[in-house]
A = this chain, B = another copy of it.
Amino acid sequence: MTTGTKAEPRSDEDRRARILDATWQLIAERGFHAVRISDVAKVCGTSTGTVHYYFPGKNDVLAEALKYCVDRAFARQSTQLRAVHNAHERLLKLIDMQLPRVGQVRDEWSIWLQYWAEATIRPEFRPAHNEYYARWQETVRRIVQRGQRQGIFRADADPHVVALRLTSLTDGAAIQVLTGVPGMTIGTMRELLVDFVHQELVAGAR
């Protein structure tokens, strides 16, 4: 009874979502500043006027598209992680889901890189960025704590510190993969992170 019927979801909020969807993909492919409103409109099969009907200006579309992408990725991630109960397995699953293979995940990493570059230069991007980043660190921290409760991770590890280290390591490795640093492949990255988890949390655990 909120608004529309179930029979016709194509409208209203749906249009906004489709615009944001097109926008973040374009940002991932071409970079933040290379996206044109007309490109977005073309991908959506609509006109530039419509984009402006839903968003006051280009900046709003771009900023919201970044959020939109990160939000969706986080939701997808959460769902998949919840299915894994063993903390060690869950952490490995998280690592696996974060590997910037070609396709969706790589595009999402591309978005993060754009986000970082933008947040460094324009402080107005930081609040939103930091909120999302905090979520991602919290995900790691929670898994560490869960593992400690389950008795499979070392009890003397500080979950907060581990989260700080693992997120830094992951981001740094992802940069090397995305920029094509020789020797840093998806495989190397996985190994790097799995080793870290083993050394930091598993080795010598009771």
State whether A113 touches B116 (Cβ < 8 A). Answer: yes
Q: Are A192 and B164 in contact (CB under 8 A)?
A: yes
Q: Offer 17 A-B interface pairs, CB within 8 angstroms, sorted by A.
A: A31-B118, A31-B121, A31-B122, A34-B121, A116-B178, A129-B179, A130-B182, A134-B181, A165-B169, A165-B196, A167-B172, A167-B176, A169-B172, A171-B172, A171-B175, A171-B176, A172-B172
* Chain B minimum-CB-distance residue to A100: B120
- Give the 5 A-B residue pairs with the shortest CB-CB distance, closest first: A168-B172, A172-B172, A33-B33, A171-B172, A117-B117
Nearest CB of B to A121, in Å: 4
What residues of B have a CB within 8 angstroms of the CB of A126 in the complex?
179-180
CB within 8 Å of B: which A85-144 residues: 110, 113-114, 116-123, 126, 129-130, 133-134
Question: Across the two chains, which residue of chain B brings its CB closest to A129?
Answer: B179
A31: chain B residues at CB < 8 Å are: 33, 117-118, 121-122
Most chain B CB inside 10 Å of its own CB: which residue of A167, A170, A172: A172
Is the CB–CB distance between A110 and B121 below 8 Å? yes
Q: By the criterion CB–CB under 8 Å, are A179 and B119 in contact?
A: yes
Stoichiometry (number of copies): 2
Interface presence of A42 (CB below 8 A): no
Q: A34 vs B121: C-alpha distance in the bound complex, in angstroms? A: 10
Is A81 an interface position by the 8 A CB rule? no
On whether the beta carbons of B179 and A168 are closer than 8 Å, the reply is no
Task: Determine the chain B residues whose CB is within 8 A of the CB of A173 once the complex forms.
Answer: 168, 172
B113 and A180: CB pair below 8 A?
no
* CB-nearest residue of chain B to A183: B164
Given contacts A164-B192, A168-B192, A169-B172, contact A178 B134 (CB under 8 A): no
Q: What is the CA–CA distance of A70 and B118 in the complex, to the nearest angstrom?
A: 20
User: Which among A122, A180, A192 has the greatest number of chain B C-beta atoms within 10 A?
Assistant: A180
CB atoms of B188 and A164 under 8 A apart? yes
